[in-house]
């Protein structure tokens, strides 16, 4: 394969396109014939063109091959064929090393899934590589592509590729009958057929420039940005372009302006050529020589930009690496004069460029050499939802509502409190829970109580069901999350999950004014155990220390402990029945949390009812016990414990 997973590259060719990563796989030409013929030394860069009806034609007609693109380029390539009224997109597959599956793209109003696959082995006829890698890696990945036996053409998008690297690439390509386009090219386009790279810009610009159907003008430019401007200009005053290409603005381009003009001269559909050069270098003089030698028989309208350089007292470096005059011959004025003397139509200024193009086109129409292309109306391109929303054209319902946090600003906020404030004000875990669970900053005694609950419930030894499950899972070699979840799944009415029920029943009984006797006996008649009462180990004379600590804290700090005192009265009655029917930690937390909610004065009665109903209180136990279960997982892995098998002697085998 070409390149690495960190590179952005495209291979274009006969049956497919590959990109690394995020490569596009382009579809086979409708006629099934190759658009790229072999190169020979007698055929320079334009030897990559296919012979069509006895004439060299462009690579871009229906090329396919390998593309290593920026992610944003995928939709642009996929939907270009929609205004052409094609039934399927040009993108047939995407190459992304290390990834599998599909990537979703829009084609018109339809959302399609493009397969992510490996392309070189599957599509050996792909022979053009368009490289979107940065200047740091473009040379390496391009050379790797050139060394592939199936790759004939490499287009390099990056600017700033070291000149020594570019020279090596061009030299290697020429010695092996291959071609380099660029560096610093935005690609090219054949109107109504296909485009490579980011040339022509957005789909709106493509429609405005009438690039959805072929015209009669061949266009070549050094500048990618100015090529978009000229596409628009040409569309206004002619019937549009047939093909346009930007060779790139670096000092050593892989192809020249004259290469493309000579190629356009051999394409029957191209009736005139428009050339946009720039100061610096002597590329334009090869076109001058071709004009003088009569190799170009069609009208050429040309302009070399950079005439303003003479206004500066010192030498000026313009945007491109090659846009720097190295002497009088490399000035824009000298090149424009040479082109004019050779027979090209050269205006007096860039402002007059459009008029010169228009007059040349109209003259060809009057002479009967051009029959203007009949205009067609492209299909309406659906607007992306995000764009339409921003412009205020549509509104769409949201899919998720969040009231506890917001990450859209400079820093995340918990219930409106910035993260920096949480840290600067010394908030603890209890404070964060109060913000994220209850959407308000509770008093310090409340958040301290929450933290105590977490500490006291973090673990209860390896023998309880949750810890046992986690230990067995960890010893089976499972990962942390699997081991944690296996323990959490045991939490329920019989283990740690009775806090909500305890709060619910204690609250209902107290609010209805039931005596402990009435409450317990009514539960007995219904066949329901009293949640929060009873323990397998603890007794009336051996109370749970965790319960005592919670009660002590509440009596010291809570404004009111009416629900806790009611739970203690219930315990007194149940102990008269059996010595193990003590208030357990579930009952203590459940009743005390009711006192926290009611006594803080920050919650209404409906809010308290909702908190209990939703399951907030069990959430405390889940959060706390997760700490211990994670600890048991690490403990077993640290001890390198083997797979657990329960002993036979601990099982009663019976029929």
Distance CA(649)–CA(628), nearest Å, equals 29
How many other C-beta atoms can be found within 10 angstroms of the C-beta atom of residue 168? 15
Across the beta sheet with 241-246, what order do the strands follow? 194-197, 187-190, 241-246, 217-221, 272-278, 300-305
Residues annotated as catalytic are 320
Which residue shows structure tokens 């290409």?
245
**Is omega for the bond preceding 183 within 30 degrees of 0, making it cis?**
yes
Which residue shows structure tokens 């690439």?
169
CA distances from 611 to 205, 590, 597, 606, 618 (A): 55, 12, 9, 9, 10
| Partners of residue 219 on adjacent β-strands | 244, 274
Which residue shows structure tokens 């699997």?
482
Q: Is the dihedral of CA 588, 593, 596, 601 positive or negative?
A: negative
Contact indicator for 181, 154 with CB cutoff of 8 Å: yes
Contact indicator for 524, 498 with CB cutoff of 8 Å: no
Q: Name the 3-class secondary structure at 209.
A: coil
Write the CB contacts of 320 (distance below 8 Å, at least 6 apart in sequence). Answer: 159, 184, 222, 223, 249, 250, 278, 280
For residue 518, give both structure tokens. Answer: 């009435």
DSSP-H helix ranges across 404-464: 419-424, 429-438, 444-457
Number of residues in the chain:
655
Q: Name the 3-class secondary structure at 266.
A: coil
What is the DSSP track for 503-557?
A: HHHHHHHHHTT--HHHHHHHHHHTT---TTB--SS-BTTB--HHHHHHHHHHHHH
From the list 234, 187, 225, 245, the residue with the least C-alpha distance to 323 is: 225
Distance CA(571)–CA(584), nearest Å, equals 9
Write the CB contacts of 113 (distance below 8 Å, at least 6 apart in sequence). Answer: 102, 103, 104, 105
Distance CA(321)–CA(225), nearest Å, equals 15
């Amino acid at each position: 394969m070409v390149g690495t997973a960190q590179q952005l590259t495209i291979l274009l060719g006969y049956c497919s396109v590959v990109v690394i990563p995020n490569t596009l796989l382009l579809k086979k030409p409708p006629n099934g014939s190759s658009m790229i013929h072999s190169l020979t030394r007698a055929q320079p860069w334009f030897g990559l063109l296919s012979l069509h009806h006895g004439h060299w034609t462009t690579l871009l007609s229906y090329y396919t091959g390998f593309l290593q693109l920026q992610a944003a380029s995928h939709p642009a390539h996929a939907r270009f064929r929609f205004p052409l009224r094609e039934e399927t997109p040009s993108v047939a597959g995407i190459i992304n090393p290390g990834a599998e599956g599909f990537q979703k793209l829009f084609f018109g109003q339809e959302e399609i899934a493009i397969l992510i696959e490996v392309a070189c082995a599957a599509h050996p006829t792909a022979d053009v590589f368009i490289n979107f890698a940065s200047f740091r890696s473009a040379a390496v990945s391009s050379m790797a592509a050139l060394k592939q036996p199936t790759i004939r053409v490499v287009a390099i998008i990056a600017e700033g590729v070291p000149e020594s690297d570019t020279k090596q690439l061009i030299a290697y390509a020429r010695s092996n009958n291959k071609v380099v386009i660029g560096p610093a090219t935005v690609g090219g386009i054949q109107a109504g057929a296909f485009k490579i790279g980011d040339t022509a810009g957005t789909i709106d610009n493509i429609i405005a420039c009438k690039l959805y159907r072929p015209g009669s003008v061949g266009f070549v430019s050094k500048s990618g940005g100015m090529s978009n401007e000229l596409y628009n200009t040409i569309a206004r005053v002619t019937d549009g372009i047939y093909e346009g290409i930007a060779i790139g603005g670096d000092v050593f381009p892989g192809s020249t302006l004259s290469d493309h003009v000579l190629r356009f001269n051999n394409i029957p559909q191209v009736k005139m050529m428009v050339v946009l050069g720039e100061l610096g270098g002597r590329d334009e003089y090869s076109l001058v020589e071709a004009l003088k030698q009569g190799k170009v028989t069609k009208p050429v309208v040309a302009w070399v930009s950079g005439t303003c350089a003479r206004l500066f007292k010192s030498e000026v470096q313009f945007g491109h690496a090659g846009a720097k005059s190295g002497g009088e011959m490399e000035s824009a004025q000298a090149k424009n004069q040479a082109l004019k003397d050779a027979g090209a139509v050269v205006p007096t200024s860039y402002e007059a460029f459009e008029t010169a193009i228009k007059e040349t086109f109209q003259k060809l129409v009057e002479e009967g050499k051009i029959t203007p292309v009949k205009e067609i109306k492209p299909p309406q391109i659906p607007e992306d939802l995000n764009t339409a929303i921003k412009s205020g054209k549509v509104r769409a319902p949201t899919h998720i509502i969040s009231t506890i946090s917001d990450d859209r600003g400079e820093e995340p906020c918990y219930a409106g409190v910035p993260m920096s404030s949480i840290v600067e004000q010394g908030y603890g875990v209890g404070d964060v829970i109060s913000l994220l669970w209850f959407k308000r900053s509770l008093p310090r005694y409340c958040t301290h109580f929450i933290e105590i609950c977490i500490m006291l419930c973090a673990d209860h030894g390896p023998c309880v069901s949750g810890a046992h499950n986690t230990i067995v899972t960890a010893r089976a070699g499972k990962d942390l999350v699997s081991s944690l979840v296996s323990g959490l799944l045991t939490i329920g009415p019989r283990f740690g999950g009775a806090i909500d029920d305890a709060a619910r029943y204690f609250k209902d009984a107290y609010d209805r004014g039931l005596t402990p006797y009435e409450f317990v006996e009514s539960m007995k008649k219904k066949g329901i155990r009293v949640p929060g009462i009873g323990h397998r180990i603890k007794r009336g004379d051996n109370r749970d220390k965790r319960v005592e600590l919670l009660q002590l804290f509440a009596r010291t700090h809570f404004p009111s402990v009416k629900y806790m005192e009611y739970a203690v009265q219930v315990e007194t009655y149940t102990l008269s029945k059996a010595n193990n029917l003590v208030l357990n930690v579930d009952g203590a937390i459940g009743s005390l949390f009711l006192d926290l909610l009611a006594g803080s004065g920050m919650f209404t009665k409906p809010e308290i009812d909702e908190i209990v109903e939703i399951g907030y209180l069990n959430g405390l136990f889940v959060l706390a016990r997760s700490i211990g279960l994670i600890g048991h997982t690490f403990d077993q892995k640290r001890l390198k414990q083997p797979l657990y098998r329960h002993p036979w002697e601990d099982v009663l085998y019976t029929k």
